[in-house]
Amino acid sequence: MRVRWLIVAAVLLATALYAQDAAQEQLPAAPSASREQGKPSRPSPQPQPAAPAPATSSTDGQPGAQTAAPASPAPAAAPEAESSQPEAASPPAQAPAPAPAQAAPEDSNIETIRRIVNEVNVVFTVTDKHGHYVKDLTKGDFRVIDDQKPAEQIRSFHNETDLPLQVGLLVDASNSVRDRFKFEQEAAVEFLNQTVRPKYDKAFVVGFDVTPEVTQDFTDNTEALSRGVRSLHPGGGTAMYDALYFACRDKLMKAPQTGPARRAIILLSDGDDNQSHVSREESIEMAQRAEVIVYTISTNITGARQHGDKVLERIADATGGRAFFPFQLTDVANAFVEIQDELRSQYALSYKPADFQPDGRYRTIEIVAQNHKNLKVRSRRGYYAPVQ
């Protein structure tokens, strides 16, 4: 009997001890589990609003860092809680990456535009006191004055004697030149035959009276150019400024270029305009914007300077070209020969102006041959700054 009581007492004692141990394990575990699970359970909704945040803040990813912060105090949490933290932090880590990749090309593009805007290209010729071309000068022989201030830097300099040509021949086909039109046509044909080199230079022909007419578009075929010149017939009024404006804006400025080229127009006219819609200065401005040198050949052979001759001189002088005033018909052909020679005897430089402002204002250009007496430099008189 005593033995039975001892067995019962032992069983009851063991049961009580087991229950106490189980209670001791469960009592501290309950609050601990609620704290460990409660911490991730509160931030778990936060990654969802934080996910779009990197899209609105693509610079430093700060919203993503704040989203990941509440999960960090639970290093002893279950493995599932730790594996969920990188997923919440990964969007902020990836979100800033596209921003620098897109910002770099934009910055580089801005710098490229600044370099183009701040650089001015000028073609010019140098002659001695006898009018002969001087072709052996170097960069150090010149000084550039831009808008009455020395240029900050001459960036490139070339003795450009063999650049491809893009030439426009503008022939006055109005009634005022009817009596000498045939000879002028033949002189122009001879010029094109001697100047335009196949597969290298290109030219076009425009005849004008009240409107400009393209009788031959850009080509290196001298036979086609000759046909374009010979197809012209005089008649009507004179809209010379309109023709010059059209040739610069719609032909030379839009001509495709695969490399450096020299743009020039030979304007054959008496200079009298009575039909144009644009003014003389507007046509000059368009030539300057298109970086076109205009050579003018007067068809006035009276021996006395007329009003039209002054107009032709103004156009040539403003664009860096020359005005020719033949005294007889044979001198027209000589003028074409001199133009051809000049086109192969020019310099080209680019420079950075001092105190440049992209304000659209007209800025003057003066190129001086320093340390050389009796040398004359001829270039365009100025340019219009771009507007940004």
User: What does the longest C-alpha to C-alpha distance in the chain come to?
Assistant: 160
Q: Residue 295: its pLDDT value, please?
A: 97
E-only strand ranges, the chain:
120-127, 142-146, 149-150, 153-160, 165-172, 202-208, 212-219, 262-269, 293-298, 323-324, 346-352, 362-369, 376-379, 382-384
pLDDT tens profile 14-31: 665 555 555 444 444 433
If you average pLDDT over each of 33-42, 324-333, 344-353, which comes out highest? 344-353
- With 0-12 / 13-18 / 19 or more C-beta atoms within 10 angstroms meaning exposed / middle / buried, residue 328 is exposed
* Confidence band for 116, pLDDT divided at 50, 70 and 90: very low
- In whole angstroms, give the CA distance from residue 50 to residue 39: 17
Q: Residue 21: its pLDDT value, please?
A: 53
Tell me: pLDDT of 266 over 50: yes
The percentage of the chain sitting over the pLDDT mark of 70, rounded to a whole number, equals 70
- What domains are there in the chain, each with its CATH number? 46-117 (no CATH), 120-161+345-388 (2.60.40), 162-343 (3.40.50.410)
- In whole angstroms, give the CA distance from residue 53 to residue 91: 9
Q: List the Cα angle 193/198/203 in 5-degree steps.
A: 65
**In this structure, what token pair is assigned to residue 10?**
């032992």
Rounded to the nearest integer, the mean pLDDT of the chain is 77
Residue 369's DSSP bridge partners are: 142
pLDDT tens profile 55-113: 333 333 333 333 333 343 433 344 343 333 333 333 334 444 444 444 444 444 555 44
Q: List the Cα angle 163/164/165 in 5-degree steps.
A: 110
Q: Which of 63-67, 156-160, 255-259, 374-378 has the lowest mean pLDDT?
A: 63-67
More confident residue, 170 or 53: 170
Residue found under tokens 């430093």: 60
Residues in the chain: 388
pLDDT tens profile 335-365: 999 999 998 889 999 999 998 888 889 999 9
Q: Please give the C-alpha separations between residue 347 and each of 114, 278, 327, 350, 379, in angstroms, as whole numbers.
A: 25, 32, 30, 10, 10
Classify 160 in phi/psi space as left (phi over 0), alpha (psi -120 to 50) or beta: beta
What 3 state SS string does 207-225 have?
A: EECCCEEEEEEEECCHHHH
Does the global pTM surpass 0.75? no
Q: What is the mean pLDDT of residues 244-265?
A: 90
Tell me: pLDDT of 10 over 80: no
Q: What is the CA radius of gyration of the chain?
A: 41
- In whole angstroms, give the CA distance from residue 152 to residue 189: 44
The percentage of the chain sitting over the pLDDT mark of 90, rounded to a whole number, equals 48
- In whole angstroms, give the CA distance from residue 364 to residue 320: 12
Contact between residue 380 and residue 288 where contact means Cβ atoms under 8 Å apart:
yes
Contact between residue 267 and residue 294 where contact means Cβ atoms under 8 Å apart:
yes
Tell me: pLDDT of 43 over 50: no
More confident residue, 162 or 77: 162
- In whole angstroms, give the CA distance from residue 203 to residue 284: 20
Tell me: pLDDT of 143 over 90: yes
Q: Which of 127-131, 171-175, 205-209 has the lowest mean pLDDT?
A: 171-175
Q: What is the mean pLDDT of residues 103-132?
A: 69
